[in-house]
Structure 1
Amino acid sequence: MAPERERNHIGRRALLAGGGALGLSAFLKAPASATEVPPNPLQKSGWTLDRHDEFNGSLDSGLWVTKYLESRTTAERASARYGFRNNALILRIEDSQPTYYADNPMKVSSIQTGQMTGLHKTTPLDHSIPTQWKYTPKYGYFEIRAKTSARSGLHAAFWAVGTQNTSSQNAEIDILEDPGPNSNQFLFNLHKWSDPNLSESSNTITTGFNINTEMHIYALEWTPSQLKLYIDNNLVKTINSSPAYNMAFLLSVYENAGWTGTVDPSDTRPKEFVVDYFRAYKPA
Protein backbone atom coordinates (compact mmCIF):
# COMPACT_ATOMS: atom_id res chain seq x y z
CA MET A 1 0.00 0.00 0.00
CA ALA A 2 3.00 2.29 0.30
CA PRO A 3 6.74 2.43 -0.45
CA GLU A 4 7.56 1.01 2.97
CA ARG A 5 5.63 -2.08 1.96
CA GLU A 6 7.83 -2.46 -1.16
CA ARG A 7 4.83 -3.02 -3.39
CA ASN A 8 5.49 -2.69 -7.13
CA HIS A 9 3.62 -5.29 -9.15
CA ILE A 10 1.88 -5.62 -12.49
CA GLY A 11 -1.71 -5.36 -11.27
CA ARG A 12 -1.11 -2.07 -9.49
CA ARG A 13 0.63 -0.41 -12.41
CA ALA A 14 -2.10 -1.51 -14.78
CA LEU A 15 -4.85 -0.21 -12.55
CA LEU A 16 -3.22 3.18 -12.20
CA ALA A 17 -2.78 3.32 -15.94
CA GLY A 18 -6.53 2.87 -16.34
CA GLY A 19 -6.68 -0.69 -17.63
CA GLY A 20 -5.07 -2.52 -20.51
CA ALA A 21 -3.19 -5.80 -20.33
CA LEU A 22 -2.97 -6.91 -16.72
CA GLY A 23 -0.56 -9.83 -16.72
CA LEU A 24 -1.25 -11.56 -13.39
CA SER A 25 -4.28 -9.35 -12.80
CA ALA A 26 -7.71 -9.89 -14.30
CA PHE A 27 -10.70 -7.62 -14.60
CA LEU A 28 -13.67 -9.20 -12.84
CA LYS A 29 -17.24 -8.01 -12.74
CA ALA A 30 -19.10 -7.75 -9.45
CA PRO A 31 -22.90 -7.47 -9.29
CA ALA A 32 -24.10 -4.05 -10.38
CA SER A 33 -25.77 -1.79 -7.84
CA ALA A 34 -27.21 1.70 -8.01
CA THR A 35 -27.64 2.12 -4.27
CA GLU A 36 -25.86 1.39 -1.04
CA VAL A 37 -26.12 -2.11 0.33
CA PRO A 38 -27.57 -2.34 3.86
CA PRO A 39 -25.65 -4.05 6.68
CA ASN A 40 -25.80 -7.81 6.95
CA PRO A 41 -27.40 -9.38 10.02
CA LEU A 42 -24.86 -9.98 12.75
CA GLN A 43 -25.45 -13.73 12.67
CA LYS A 44 -24.35 -15.56 9.52
CA SER A 45 -25.71 -18.95 8.51
CA GLY A 46 -23.03 -21.65 8.66
CA TRP A 47 -20.70 -19.49 10.73
CA THR A 48 -20.18 -18.63 14.40
CA LEU A 49 -19.41 -15.01 15.28
CA ASP A 50 -15.87 -14.87 16.68
CA ARG A 51 -15.09 -11.16 17.15
CA HIS A 52 -16.66 -7.95 15.94
CA ASP A 53 -16.72 -4.19 16.38
CA GLU A 54 -19.78 -2.25 15.23
CA PHE A 55 -17.97 1.10 15.75
CA ASN A 56 -20.93 2.61 17.59
CA GLY A 57 -19.05 5.61 18.98
CA SER A 58 -15.92 3.87 20.25
CA LEU A 59 -13.23 1.32 19.43
CA ASP A 60 -13.00 -2.05 21.14
CA SER A 61 -9.68 -1.61 22.95
CA GLY A 62 -9.47 -5.37 23.35
CA LEU A 63 -9.40 -5.74 19.57
CA TRP A 64 -7.53 -2.77 18.09
CA VAL A 65 -4.09 -1.17 18.24
CA THR A 66 -4.27 2.44 17.00
CA LYS A 67 -0.62 2.85 15.95
CA TYR A 68 0.46 1.73 12.47
CA LEU A 69 3.54 -0.54 12.45
CA GLU A 70 4.87 1.58 15.29
CA SER A 71 8.38 0.11 15.49
CA ARG A 72 9.25 1.86 12.22
CA THR A 73 8.66 5.41 13.47
CA THR A 74 7.73 7.43 16.55
CA ALA A 75 4.52 6.73 18.46
CA GLU A 76 3.17 10.17 17.50
CA ARG A 77 3.77 9.65 13.79
CA ALA A 78 2.25 6.16 13.91
CA SER A 79 -0.93 7.23 15.73
CA ALA A 80 -4.20 7.09 13.80
CA ARG A 81 -6.52 10.04 13.38
CA TYR A 82 -10.07 8.78 13.65
CA GLY A 83 -13.59 9.51 14.88
CA PHE A 84 -17.16 8.28 14.51
CA ARG A 85 -20.14 9.40 12.45
CA ASN A 86 -23.52 7.73 12.05
CA ASN A 87 -22.28 4.71 14.02
CA ALA A 88 -19.32 4.19 11.69
CA LEU A 89 -15.57 4.50 12.11
CA ILE A 90 -13.99 7.39 10.20
CA LEU A 91 -10.27 6.91 9.61
CA ARG A 92 -9.00 10.22 8.30
CA ILE A 93 -5.96 12.08 7.02
CA GLU A 94 -5.67 15.59 8.45
CA ASP A 95 -3.62 18.63 7.42
CA SER A 96 -2.27 18.94 10.97
CA GLN A 97 -1.27 15.28 11.10
CA PRO A 98 2.49 14.56 11.12
CA THR A 99 3.95 12.52 8.31
CA TYR A 100 4.74 8.88 9.07
CA TYR A 101 8.45 9.48 8.53
CA ALA A 102 10.24 12.76 9.15
CA ASP A 103 11.76 12.79 5.65
CA ASN A 104 8.80 11.46 3.65
CA PRO A 105 5.42 13.09 2.81
CA MET A 106 3.36 9.96 3.47
CA LYS A 107 0.66 10.14 6.15
CA VAL A 108 -1.33 7.17 7.44
CA SER A 109 -4.17 6.48 9.83
CA SER A 110 -4.61 2.80 10.59
CA ILE A 111 -5.94 0.43 13.23
CA GLN A 112 -4.82 -3.19 13.47
CA THR A 113 -5.55 -6.29 15.52
CA GLY A 114 -1.93 -7.03 16.38
CA GLN A 115 1.49 -5.46 16.71
CA MET A 116 5.11 -6.44 17.26
CA THR A 117 8.56 -5.08 16.58
CA GLY A 118 9.36 -5.55 12.89
CA LEU A 119 5.87 -6.62 11.84
CA HIS A 120 5.50 -6.59 8.05
CA LYS A 121 9.16 -6.00 7.15
CA THR A 122 11.86 -5.63 9.75
CA THR A 123 13.30 -2.34 8.53
CA PRO A 124 13.46 0.53 9.14
CA LEU A 125 13.54 0.23 12.93
CA ASP A 126 12.94 3.29 15.09
CA HIS A 127 12.37 1.54 18.41
CA SER A 128 11.21 -1.75 19.91
CA ILE A 129 7.60 -2.11 21.02
CA PRO A 130 5.71 -4.63 23.17
CA THR A 131 4.12 -7.52 21.30
CA GLN A 132 0.32 -7.29 21.30
CA TRP A 133 -1.67 -9.98 19.53
CA LYS A 134 -5.25 -8.94 20.22
CA TYR A 135 -6.89 -10.95 17.45
CA THR A 136 -4.87 -13.07 15.04
CA PRO A 137 -7.05 -15.86 13.64
CA LYS A 138 -6.17 -18.65 11.27
CA TYR A 139 -8.94 -19.22 8.69
CA GLY A 140 -12.50 -17.92 8.85
CA TYR A 141 -14.81 -15.34 7.27
CA PHE A 142 -13.98 -11.64 7.67
CA GLU A 143 -16.30 -8.84 6.63
CA ILE A 144 -16.56 -5.06 6.58
CA ARG A 145 -19.14 -2.64 5.23
CA ALA A 146 -17.33 0.43 3.98
CA LYS A 147 -16.65 3.16 1.46
CA THR A 148 -13.37 4.82 0.58
CA SER A 149 -12.40 8.24 -0.72
CA ALA A 150 -9.44 7.07 -2.78
CA ARG A 151 -8.24 9.39 -5.51
CA SER A 152 -4.95 10.82 -6.70
CA GLY A 153 -2.47 10.57 -3.86
CA LEU A 154 -4.92 8.88 -1.48
CA HIS A 155 -5.73 5.21 -0.95
CA ALA A 156 -7.37 2.89 1.58
CA ALA A 157 -7.21 -0.80 2.43
CA PHE A 158 -8.71 -3.69 4.41
CA TRP A 159 -5.85 -6.19 4.65
CA ALA A 160 -4.04 -8.82 6.73
CA VAL A 161 -0.42 -9.76 7.47
CA GLY A 162 1.20 -12.86 8.92
CA THR A 163 2.30 -12.76 12.55
CA GLN A 164 5.81 -13.92 11.64
CA ASN A 165 6.26 -16.72 14.15
CA THR A 166 8.96 -17.66 11.66
CA SER A 167 10.59 -15.30 9.20
CA SER A 168 8.70 -16.79 6.24
CA GLN A 169 5.26 -16.43 7.84
CA ASN A 170 4.88 -12.91 6.49
CA ALA A 171 2.34 -13.15 3.64
CA GLU A 172 -0.09 -10.32 2.97
CA ILE A 173 -3.72 -10.50 1.87
CA ASP A 174 -5.22 -7.35 0.35
CA ILE A 175 -8.96 -7.92 0.64
CA LEU A 176 -9.92 -4.41 -0.45
CA GLU A 177 -7.10 -2.15 -1.61
CA ASP A 178 -8.42 0.95 -3.33
CA PRO A 179 -5.69 3.15 -4.84
CA GLY A 180 -7.94 5.27 -7.06
CA PRO A 181 -8.32 6.97 -9.44
CA ASN A 182 -10.98 4.64 -10.85
CA SER A 183 -13.98 4.77 -8.54
CA ASN A 184 -15.25 1.32 -9.54
CA GLN A 185 -12.04 -0.70 -9.17
CA PHE A 186 -9.89 -2.08 -6.38
CA LEU A 187 -7.17 -4.69 -5.82
CA PHE A 188 -7.53 -8.17 -4.31
CA ASN A 189 -4.07 -9.65 -3.81
CA LEU A 190 -2.04 -12.35 -2.14
CA HIS A 191 1.61 -11.35 -1.72
CA LYS A 192 3.68 -14.28 -0.61
CA TRP A 193 6.77 -12.19 0.26
CA SER A 194 9.22 -14.79 1.65
CA ASP A 195 6.69 -17.61 2.11
CA PRO A 196 7.85 -20.43 -0.23
CA ASN A 197 4.56 -22.30 0.14
CA LEU A 198 2.40 -19.64 -1.52
CA SER A 199 1.73 -18.45 -5.06
CA GLU A 200 1.67 -14.73 -5.85
CA SER A 201 -1.71 -13.46 -7.07
CA SER A 202 -2.59 -9.88 -8.07
CA ASN A 203 -6.14 -9.09 -9.21
CA THR A 204 -7.97 -5.93 -10.24
CA ILE A 205 -11.66 -6.13 -9.39
CA THR A 206 -14.13 -4.00 -11.36
CA THR A 207 -17.43 -3.35 -9.62
CA GLY A 208 -20.77 -2.12 -10.89
CA PHE A 209 -20.90 0.75 -8.41
CA ASN A 210 -18.92 3.68 -7.01
CA ILE A 211 -16.87 2.42 -4.07
CA ASN A 212 -16.06 5.99 -3.00
CA THR A 213 -19.63 7.19 -2.50
CA GLU A 214 -21.60 4.04 -1.64
CA MET A 215 -21.39 1.69 1.34
CA HIS A 216 -20.89 -1.91 0.24
CA ILE A 217 -19.90 -5.19 1.89
CA TYR A 218 -16.44 -6.69 1.30
CA ALA A 219 -15.51 -10.08 2.76
CA LEU A 220 -12.79 -12.71 2.72
CA GLU A 221 -13.41 -16.41 3.20
CA TRP A 222 -10.05 -17.89 4.17
CA THR A 223 -9.72 -21.68 4.07
CA PRO A 224 -6.65 -23.96 4.20
CA SER A 225 -6.53 -24.01 0.40
CA GLN A 226 -8.26 -20.88 -0.91
CA LEU A 227 -8.93 -17.17 -0.47
CA LYS A 228 -12.40 -16.16 -1.65
CA LEU A 229 -13.49 -12.55 -2.18
CA TYR A 230 -17.15 -11.65 -1.68
CA ILE A 231 -18.78 -8.35 -2.61
CA ASP A 232 -22.28 -7.76 -1.25
CA ASN A 233 -22.46 -11.47 -0.35
CA ASN A 234 -21.61 -12.61 -3.89
CA LEU A 235 -18.48 -14.64 -4.64
CA VAL A 236 -16.37 -12.62 -7.07
CA LYS A 237 -12.86 -14.11 -7.14
CA THR A 238 -10.99 -17.13 -5.76
CA ILE A 239 -7.24 -17.41 -5.20
CA ASN A 240 -6.08 -21.03 -4.98
CA SER A 241 -3.35 -20.42 -2.42
CA SER A 242 -3.62 -19.75 1.30
CA PRO A 243 -1.37 -18.77 4.23
CA ALA A 244 -1.28 -21.57 6.83
CA TYR A 245 -0.63 -19.40 9.87
CA ASN A 246 -2.23 -16.70 12.03
CA MET A 247 -2.67 -13.19 10.66
CA ALA A 248 -3.46 -9.73 11.99
CA PHE A 249 -6.06 -7.53 10.25
CA LEU A 250 -5.71 -3.84 9.41
CA LEU A 251 -7.93 -0.96 8.29
CA SER A 252 -5.82 1.82 6.79
CA VAL A 253 -5.96 5.08 4.85
CA TYR A 254 -2.86 6.69 3.29
CA GLU A 255 -1.86 9.98 1.67
CA ASN A 256 1.19 10.46 -0.56
CA ALA A 257 2.25 6.84 -0.38
CA GLY A 258 4.33 7.26 -3.52
CA TRP A 259 2.53 4.94 -5.96
CA THR A 260 -0.97 6.45 -6.14
CA GLY A 261 -0.24 9.77 -7.81
CA THR A 262 0.05 13.28 -6.42
CA VAL A 263 -2.41 14.98 -4.09
CA ASP A 264 -4.13 17.98 -5.67
CA PRO A 265 -3.36 20.92 -3.34
CA SER A 266 -6.75 22.48 -4.14
CA ASP A 267 -8.61 19.28 -3.20
CA THR A 268 -10.42 20.06 0.06
CA ARG A 269 -12.70 17.02 0.08
CA PRO A 270 -12.57 14.78 3.16
CA LYS A 271 -9.76 12.22 3.14
CA GLU A 272 -11.53 9.33 4.83
CA PHE A 273 -12.05 5.60 5.03
CA VAL A 274 -15.54 4.99 6.41
CA VAL A 275 -16.12 1.55 7.98
CA ASP A 276 -19.52 0.59 9.37
CA TYR A 277 -18.32 -2.57 11.09
CA PHE A 278 -15.68 -5.32 11.26
CA ARG A 279 -16.89 -8.90 11.80
CA ALA A 280 -15.01 -12.18 12.02
CA TYR A 281 -16.53 -15.65 11.98
CA LYS A 282 -15.44 -19.24 12.53
CA PRO A 283 -17.07 -22.22 10.79
CA ALA A 284 -20.13 -23.34 12.75
Structure 2
Amino acid sequence: MDPRWDRVERFAGEPLDGTLWIPDYLPHWTTPDRSGARYDFTPGGLELLIEHDQRAWRPEDGDFRVSHLQTGEYGGPLGSNVGQHRIGRDLRVVTERPTRRLWTPPRAGAVEVVASASADPTCMLGIWLVGHEETSPQDSGEICIAEVFGDKVTATSSLVRVGIKAHHDPRLVTDLRDVALPVDATSSHAYGASWDSEGTAVTFDGVEIYRTDQVLSYPLQLMLDLWEFPHGRREPAAYPKRATLHEVRLRTDD
Protein backbone atom coordinates (compact mmCIF):
# COMPACT_ATOMS: atom_id res chain seq x y z
CA MET A 1 0.00 0.00 0.00
CA ASP A 2 1.10 3.57 -0.69
CA PRO A 3 2.86 4.72 2.52
CA ARG A 4 1.07 8.08 2.33
CA TRP A 5 -2.17 6.36 3.37
CA ASP A 6 -3.27 4.35 6.40
CA ARG A 7 -6.17 2.74 4.57
CA VAL A 8 -7.31 2.38 0.97
CA GLU A 9 -10.85 1.29 0.06
CA ARG A 10 -11.35 -0.04 -3.46
CA PHE A 11 -14.91 -1.38 -3.07
CA ALA A 12 -13.86 -4.81 -4.30
CA GLY A 13 -17.26 -6.41 -3.73
CA GLU A 14 -19.98 -7.29 -1.30
CA PRO A 15 -20.50 -6.84 1.51
CA LEU A 16 -19.84 -3.16 2.14
CA ASP A 17 -17.17 -2.86 4.83
CA GLY A 18 -19.11 -2.16 8.01
CA THR A 19 -15.94 -1.27 9.91
CA LEU A 20 -15.65 1.86 7.76
CA TRP A 21 -18.99 2.71 6.13
CA ILE A 22 -22.47 3.54 7.37
CA PRO A 23 -24.76 3.43 4.29
CA ASP A 24 -27.25 5.99 5.62
CA TYR A 25 -27.61 9.75 5.34
CA LEU A 26 -27.97 11.29 8.82
CA PRO A 27 -30.26 8.45 9.88
CA HIS A 28 -31.20 9.90 13.27
CA TRP A 29 -33.25 12.71 11.65
CA THR A 30 -35.44 10.38 9.56
CA THR A 31 -36.50 6.76 9.14
CA PRO A 32 -34.43 3.86 7.78
CA ASP A 33 -36.51 3.52 4.61
CA ARG A 34 -35.63 7.13 3.75
CA SER A 35 -31.99 7.34 4.92
CA GLY A 36 -30.68 4.06 3.48
CA ALA A 37 -28.30 4.19 0.50
CA ARG A 38 -28.90 2.37 -2.73
CA TYR A 39 -25.79 1.13 -4.49
CA ASP A 40 -24.24 -1.56 -6.68
CA PHE A 41 -20.76 -3.05 -6.75
CA THR A 42 -19.30 -2.86 -10.27
CA PRO A 43 -15.87 -3.65 -11.76
CA GLY A 44 -15.10 0.07 -11.58
CA GLY A 45 -16.11 0.54 -7.94
CA LEU A 46 -19.24 1.34 -5.97
CA GLU A 47 -22.09 2.97 -7.88
CA LEU A 48 -24.30 5.18 -5.74
CA LEU A 49 -27.82 5.07 -7.18
CA ILE A 50 -30.95 7.16 -7.08
CA GLU A 51 -33.85 4.94 -8.17
CA HIS A 52 -37.33 5.84 -9.31
CA ASP A 53 -39.11 4.41 -6.26
CA GLN A 54 -36.70 5.96 -3.75
CA ARG A 55 -38.35 8.08 -1.07
CA ALA A 56 -37.45 11.63 -0.09
CA TRP A 57 -34.91 11.79 2.75
CA ARG A 58 -37.08 13.98 4.97
CA PRO A 59 -40.36 15.33 3.55
CA GLU A 60 -40.24 18.36 5.86
CA ASP A 61 -37.17 19.52 3.94
CA GLY A 62 -38.51 18.89 0.46
CA ASP A 63 -38.46 16.16 -2.13
CA PHE A 64 -34.72 15.54 -2.47
CA ARG A 65 -33.37 12.00 -2.45
CA VAL A 66 -29.93 10.79 -1.48
CA SER A 67 -27.69 7.74 -1.49
CA HIS A 68 -24.82 8.21 0.86
CA LEU A 69 -21.96 6.69 2.86
CA GLN A 70 -20.52 8.17 6.06
CA THR A 71 -17.79 7.11 8.50
CA GLY A 72 -19.43 8.15 11.77
CA GLU A 73 -22.76 9.02 13.34
CA TYR A 74 -24.02 10.79 16.42
CA GLY A 75 -27.59 11.50 17.52
CA GLY A 76 -29.35 12.07 20.82
CA PRO A 77 -32.35 10.38 22.41
CA LEU A 78 -35.65 9.95 20.64
CA GLY A 79 -37.51 13.23 20.28
CA SER A 80 -34.52 15.42 21.11
CA ASN A 81 -32.94 18.00 18.82
CA VAL A 82 -29.46 16.67 19.59
CA GLY A 83 -27.52 15.24 16.68
CA GLN A 84 -24.88 15.92 14.07
CA HIS A 85 -25.28 18.06 10.96
CA ARG A 86 -28.40 20.07 11.86
CA ILE A 87 -29.22 21.22 8.34
CA GLY A 88 -33.02 20.88 8.25
CA ARG A 89 -36.04 22.57 9.74
CA ASP A 90 -37.54 21.60 13.13
CA LEU A 91 -35.16 18.67 13.45
CA ARG A 92 -35.99 15.97 15.99
CA VAL A 93 -34.47 12.53 16.43
CA VAL A 94 -36.96 10.02 15.05
CA THR A 95 -34.61 7.00 14.90
CA GLU A 96 -32.26 6.30 17.78
CA ARG A 97 -28.90 5.02 16.62
CA PRO A 98 -25.67 4.12 18.45
CA THR A 99 -22.86 6.63 18.35
CA ARG A 100 -20.12 5.38 16.02
CA ARG A 101 -16.68 6.65 15.08
CA LEU A 102 -15.43 4.40 12.30
CA TRP A 103 -13.01 6.95 10.78
CA THR A 104 -13.06 10.29 12.56
CA PRO A 105 -9.55 11.81 12.85
CA PRO A 106 -9.50 13.87 16.05
CA ARG A 107 -7.46 16.87 14.84
CA ALA A 108 -5.65 16.29 11.55
CA GLY A 109 -5.63 14.02 8.54
CA ALA A 110 -5.97 13.63 4.81
CA VAL A 111 -8.32 12.00 2.33
CA GLU A 112 -8.59 11.42 -1.41
CA VAL A 113 -11.75 10.19 -3.09
CA VAL A 114 -11.47 8.99 -6.68
CA ALA A 115 -14.92 9.37 -8.18
CA SER A 116 -16.93 9.89 -11.35
CA ALA A 117 -19.74 12.43 -11.04
CA SER A 118 -23.12 12.51 -12.74
CA ALA A 119 -23.92 14.94 -15.54
CA ASP A 120 -27.63 14.65 -14.82
CA PRO A 121 -28.82 18.23 -14.23
CA THR A 122 -30.87 17.15 -11.20
CA CYS A 123 -27.93 15.49 -9.42
CA MET A 124 -24.92 16.44 -7.33
CA LEU A 125 -21.88 14.47 -6.21
CA GLY A 126 -20.93 15.58 -2.69
CA ILE A 127 -17.67 14.85 -0.86
CA TRP A 128 -17.47 16.38 2.61
CA LEU A 129 -15.68 16.21 5.93
CA VAL A 130 -18.17 17.14 8.64
CA GLY A 131 -17.87 17.59 12.39
CA HIS A 132 -18.89 14.46 14.30
CA GLU A 133 -20.28 16.72 17.07
CA GLU A 134 -20.21 14.28 19.99
CA THR A 135 -17.57 16.52 21.60
CA SER A 136 -19.71 19.68 21.30
CA PRO A 137 -22.57 21.02 19.16
CA GLN A 138 -20.17 23.78 18.08
CA ASP A 139 -17.82 21.20 16.56
CA SER A 140 -19.97 21.15 13.44
CA GLY A 141 -17.89 22.78 10.71
CA GLU A 142 -17.38 21.27 7.29
CA ILE A 143 -14.61 20.97 4.75
CA CYS A 144 -16.37 20.93 1.41
CA ILE A 145 -13.98 18.85 -0.69
CA ALA A 146 -16.28 18.84 -3.70
CA GLU A 147 -19.82 19.58 -4.73
CA VAL A 148 -20.18 18.71 -8.41
CA PHE A 149 -23.55 19.76 -9.80
CA GLY A 150 -24.56 17.86 -12.92
CA ASP A 151 -25.80 20.97 -14.70
CA LYS A 152 -22.26 22.41 -14.43
CA VAL A 153 -20.56 19.40 -16.06
CA THR A 154 -19.73 19.26 -19.78
CA ALA A 155 -17.39 17.23 -21.96
CA THR A 156 -14.73 19.95 -21.70
CA SER A 157 -15.26 21.69 -18.36
CA SER A 158 -16.74 21.25 -14.90
CA LEU A 159 -17.44 23.59 -11.99
CA VAL A 160 -16.51 22.23 -8.57
CA ARG A 161 -17.54 23.93 -5.32
CA VAL A 162 -14.96 23.78 -2.52
CA GLY A 163 -14.25 25.50 0.78
CA ILE A 164 -15.41 25.80 4.38
CA LYS A 165 -18.93 25.81 5.80
CA ALA A 166 -19.23 27.14 9.35
CA HIS A 167 -22.64 25.63 10.13
CA HIS A 168 -22.91 26.05 13.95
CA ASP A 169 -19.21 26.68 14.65
CA PRO A 170 -18.73 30.36 15.62
CA ARG A 171 -14.95 30.00 15.17
CA LEU A 172 -15.35 29.51 11.42
CA VAL A 173 -16.47 31.70 8.54
CA THR A 174 -18.23 30.15 5.56
CA ASP A 175 -15.96 30.50 2.53
CA LEU A 176 -17.07 28.66 -0.62
CA ARG A 177 -15.61 29.00 -4.09
CA ASP A 178 -16.68 27.61 -7.45
CA VAL A 179 -13.56 26.44 -9.27
CA ALA A 180 -13.73 26.00 -13.04
CA LEU A 181 -11.72 22.98 -14.19
CA PRO A 182 -10.98 21.97 -17.80
CA VAL A 183 -12.16 18.38 -17.29
CA ASP A 184 -15.21 16.19 -17.72
CA ALA A 185 -16.15 15.29 -14.15
CA THR A 186 -18.03 12.19 -15.33
CA SER A 187 -14.60 10.62 -15.83
CA SER A 188 -12.49 9.48 -12.89
CA HIS A 189 -10.80 12.22 -10.84
CA ALA A 190 -9.25 12.49 -7.36
CA TYR A 191 -10.82 14.96 -4.93
CA GLY A 192 -8.72 15.48 -1.81
CA ALA A 193 -8.23 17.44 1.39
CA SER A 194 -5.73 17.71 4.21
CA TRP A 195 -6.12 19.60 7.47
CA ASP A 196 -4.12 20.28 10.62
CA SER A 197 -3.42 22.99 13.18
CA GLU A 198 -2.13 25.32 10.43
CA GLY A 199 -5.18 25.21 8.17
CA THR A 200 -6.93 23.31 5.41
CA ALA A 201 -6.14 22.53 1.77
CA VAL A 202 -8.30 21.03 -0.98
CA THR A 203 -6.83 19.33 -4.05
CA PHE A 204 -8.02 18.11 -7.43
CA ASP A 205 -6.02 15.35 -9.10
CA GLY A 206 -3.21 16.15 -6.66
CA VAL A 207 -3.09 19.87 -7.42
CA GLU A 208 -4.05 22.36 -4.72
CA ILE A 209 -7.11 24.42 -5.69
CA TYR A 210 -8.04 25.94 -2.32
CA ARG A 211 -6.24 26.83 0.91
CA THR A 212 -7.31 28.56 4.10
CA ASP A 213 -5.85 29.15 7.55
CA GLN A 214 -9.18 28.17 9.12
CA VAL A 215 -8.74 25.20 11.46
CA LEU A 216 -11.17 22.41 12.34
CA SER A 217 -9.47 20.89 15.38
CA TYR A 218 -12.12 18.32 16.30
CA PRO A 219 -13.22 14.91 15.01
CA LEU A 220 -14.44 14.93 11.41
CA GLN A 221 -16.22 12.19 9.49
CA LEU A 222 -16.17 11.59 5.75
CA MET A 223 -19.47 11.82 3.85
CA LEU A 224 -19.87 10.65 0.21
CA ASP A 225 -23.09 11.45 -1.50
CA LEU A 226 -25.21 11.25 -4.64
CA TRP A 227 -28.01 13.78 -4.28
CA GLU A 228 -31.07 14.31 -6.47
CA PHE A 229 -32.90 17.62 -6.31
CA PRO A 230 -36.64 17.95 -6.99
CA HIS A 231 -37.30 18.59 -10.66
CA GLY A 232 -40.90 18.17 -11.74
CA ARG A 233 -42.31 14.79 -12.66
CA ARG A 234 -40.00 11.81 -12.19
CA GLU A 235 -40.05 9.71 -15.34
CA PRO A 236 -39.18 6.03 -14.70
CA ALA A 237 -37.07 5.84 -17.86
CA ALA A 238 -34.66 8.44 -16.41
CA TYR A 239 -33.57 6.09 -13.60
CA PRO A 240 -31.41 4.92 -12.02
CA LYS A 241 -29.10 7.92 -11.70
CA ARG A 242 -25.48 7.09 -10.91
CA ALA A 243 -22.17 8.33 -9.56
CA THR A 244 -19.23 5.99 -9.01
CA LEU A 245 -16.78 5.80 -6.11
CA HIS A 246 -13.62 4.13 -7.43
CA GLU A 247 -11.26 4.43 -4.48
CA VAL A 248 -11.01 6.17 -1.10
CA ARG A 249 -7.65 6.87 0.57
CA LEU A 250 -7.51 7.80 4.25
CA ARG A 251 -4.87 9.00 6.69
CA THR A 252 -5.04 10.09 10.32
CA ASP A 253 -2.25 12.48 11.33
CA ASP A 254 -2.74 12.69 15.10
Q: Of 232, 237, 240, which aligns to 2:210?
A: 237
Which residue in 1 is equivalent to 2:12? 56
Which residue of 1 is the match for residue 38 of structure 2? Answer: 81
Find 1:67's aligned residue among 8, 16, 24.
Answer: 24
Structure 1: distance between partners of 2:239 and 2:26? 27
Deviations 1:123-160 (A, max 9, x none): 24323221111110131220011111043221110111
SS at match of 2:33: helix
Partner-residue secondary structure (3-state), 1:97: coil
Give, in angstroms, the shift of residue 88 of structure 1.
Answer: 0.3
Q: Distance in 2 between matches of 1:63 and 1:71?
A: 18
- Change in 2 beyond 3 A, CA 1:102/1:199: closer
Give the TM-score taking structure 1 as reference length: 0.77
TM-score (norm 2): 0.85
Mark the CA change 1:150 to 1:226 in structure 2 (over 3 Å): closer, same or farther.
farther
**Shift of residue 167 of structure 1?**
1.4
Superimposed CA distance per residue, residues 37-75 of structure 1 (whole angstroms, 9 cap, x where no aligned partner): xxxxx415xx3x223311111322100111110011111
Runs of 4+ in 1 over 4 A off after TM superposition: 261-267
Q: Which amino acid aligns with 1:132?
A: R
* Counterpart Cα distance in 1 of 2:46 and 2:174: 31
SS of residue paired to 1:159: strand
Q: Distance in 2 between matches of 1:229 and 1:235?
A: 6
Alpha-carbon distance, 1:283 to partner: 5.0
For 1:105, give the aligned amino acid. D
Structure 2 residue corresponding to 1:187, chosen from 161, 168, 173: 161
Counterpart residue type for residue 9 of structure 2: D
Does the CA contact (< 8 Å) of 1:152 and 1:263 recur in 2? no
The separation in 1 between residues aligned to 2:252 and 2:94, in whole angstroms, is: 36
Query: Does the alignment pair 1:168 with 2:127?
Result: no
Match of residue 279, structure 1, among 235, 249, 252? 249
Match of 1:248 in 2: 221
Tell me if structure 1 keeps the 8 A contact 2:65–2:227. Answer: yes
Matched to 1:153, the amino acid is: T
Distance 1:186 1:133, change over 3 A: same
Q: Which residue of 2 aligns with 1:20?
A: none
What amino acid does structure 1 have at the position aligned with 2:188?
Answer: M
Q: Retained in 1: the 8 A contact 2:117–2:150?
A: no
Alignment partner of 1:100: what SS? coil
* Matched-pair contact (CA < 8 Å) for 1:201–1:239: no
1:129 counterpart residue number: 97
Number of aligned residue pairs: give it: 236
Deviation at 1:262, TM superposition (A): 5.7
- Structure 2 residue aligned with 1:208, among 182, 185, 206? 182
Q: What are the ranges of 5 or more consecutive residues in structure 1 without an aligned counterpart?
A: 1-41
- Secondary structure of the structure 2 residue equivalent to 1:77: helix
What whole-Å deviation, never above 9, does each CA across 1:233-257 have from its counterpart, x for those lacking one?
112221221201110111111112x
The code of the aligned residue for 2:100 comes to Q
- SS of the residue corresponding to residue 28 of structure 2 reads helix
C-alpha distance in 2 between matches for 1:167 and 1:105: 27
- Of 187-196 and 101-110, more deviation after overlay is shown by 101-110
Task: Tell me the CA shift for residue 221 of structure 1.
Answer: 1.4
